[in-house]
A and B are shown apart, each in its own frame.
Chain A
């Protein structure tokens, strides 16, 4: 009896290991294969660029439930990129990403670029290549109006600060307010719902995203100004210099032509 059980166990382990190997093998192939053509040429061959954007971030990338379209600053920038690279702003396909899924999706080849409120950081530069800064945000705090929290210094022991898994703000807040408890959620909607339900005292992320939440529910407000600089960049798979250059070129032209300011003023209204 014992013998049969241990052999069963061995079989289970064997299966687990072989699945593991198969999966690893696949991952390696995906990253080394297809190097004969660079990413920019591949995009031109396909005739469309696949861009990972947020679907839950008001003002940047939000799926409009009535029209089914995603809308926001990141979306308009992506369309302009498609226009610059492929000559037509309709030649862009959007895929939903979250802070957690965007780098794995980029490295798997599911998307060609990330335009998803993504902060350029040294750590991320090891994983992906970034374009020039396309938006300068800063981390801030969102609280209910009338909250005793006025800024970073009020985040004391026992204060619950809500953040999103995989975001730089979750890492930053642990350094800036080491005494506070940080709770992390899947996305901004869930984090904001948790704040509204009283599961936390403050929500932290980039001011640009917090403005979107205030836009949705004016009972909340930003406090304490910004305490970090969050330069947003467009990320592509590592080693795709041609694509990065093409994106930087497009961004530069957008700024020169005034199109960039037009898009920015359309979405972001700082007070």
Chain B
């Protein structure tokens, strides 16, 4: 069965990685949400050039493998004189990548509110921003919570990309424990358990929010 001595002997190493994975995930959650909201607003704002920028961002970023984006920030940027440590480069890549999916989720949510609502709000004298804030967004938020929650869960798991660019996360230290103990399977089982510690509460939290918002509807 599983050899728990691996977990115990390398506890500090695992914990160091776990801590950095939490940091990367938290920064990534905030970063990707902020960028995602901005991009989503650009995509639906009634200003054409902004729409284009938003569309290019989403189509460009979400169609490139995350690994390549991470390598770009890690070994590509130094070519123009910006050298970022693995942790920073990886977390930026993670935020930028996830933001493209979050932007799409938010856009879809806002656009799923019937058009008539915006028209009715505008014709009753509200400005575009007021209508957005008071009528459209409160409805859209309920629709976008489940897909955004999914993206957050993906983000936590995708943070393992840091392991490829010496980002000192859980995956990085998992690789190192594995290569020093010559044990593969057990080492990664413990890595997976650490990820579950983060993702299961996140998953349950999203489920809870979803139910609460549905009830208040």
Contact = CB atoms under 8 A, between A and B. Distances in A.
B78 A103 contact: no
A12 B85 CA distance: 37
B78 A199 contact: yes
Contacts of A23: 185
B79 A183 contact: no
Interface in B166-217: 166, 172, 175-176, 178-180, 182, 184-185, 189, 200, 204, 207, 211
A199 B166 contact: yes
Chain B facing A: main interface SS: helix
B175 A183 contact: no
A58 B165 CA distance: 22
A229 B185 CA distance: 31
B214 to A, nearest CB: 13
Contacts of A185: 164, 166
Given A194-B166, A199-B86, A184 B75 contact: no
B101 interface: no
Interface string A109-127: 0000000000000011001
B74 A165 contact: no
A198 B82 CA distance: 10
Given A20-B189, A23-B185, A27-B185, A198 B78 contact: yes
Contacts of A9: 200
Nearest to B167: A183
Given A20-B2, A20-B189, A194 B74 contact: yes
A197 B86 contact: no
A193 B165 CA distance: 11
Contacts of B130: none
Nearest to A164: B179
B9 to A, nearest CB: 14
A199 B1 contact: no
Contacts of B176: 165, 170, 184
Interface residues of B, number: 27
B83 interface: yes
A171 interface: yes
Contacts of B178: 100, 166
The listed residue with most A CB atoms (<10 A of its CB), out of B83, B166, B180, B185, is B166
B182 A127 contact: yes
Interface in A162-216: 162, 165-167, 170-171, 183-186, 190, 193-194, 196-199
Nearest to B172: A184
A194 B75 contact: yes
A165 B175 contact: yes
The listed residue with most B CB atoms (<10 A of its CB), out of A1, A27, A124, A165, is A165
B181 to A, nearest CB: 9
A261 B30 CA distance: 60
Contacts of A199: 74-75, 78, 83, 85-86, 166
A23 B1 CA distance: 10
Given A197-B79, A197-B83, A199-B75, A184 B166 contact: yes
Interface in B136-168: 164-166
A103 B182 contact: yes
A165 B182 contact: no
Contact of B179 (A12, A165, A190, A197): A165
Given A99-B179, A100-B178, A198-B83, A24 B75 contact: no
A228 B124 CA distance: 81
A5 interface: yes
Interface of B: 1-2, 74-76, 78-79, 83, 85-86, 164-166, 172, 175-176, 178-180, 182, 184-185, 189, 200, 204, 207, 211
Given A24-B1, A24-B2, 16 more contacts: A5-B204, A9-B200, A20-B2, A100-B175, A100-B179, A103-B182, A104-B184, A166-B179, A183-B86, A184-B166, A184-B172, A185-B164, A193-B75, A196-B75, A197-B74, A199-B166
Interchain residue pairs A-B with the least CB separation, the first 3: A166-B179, A183-B166, A197-B78
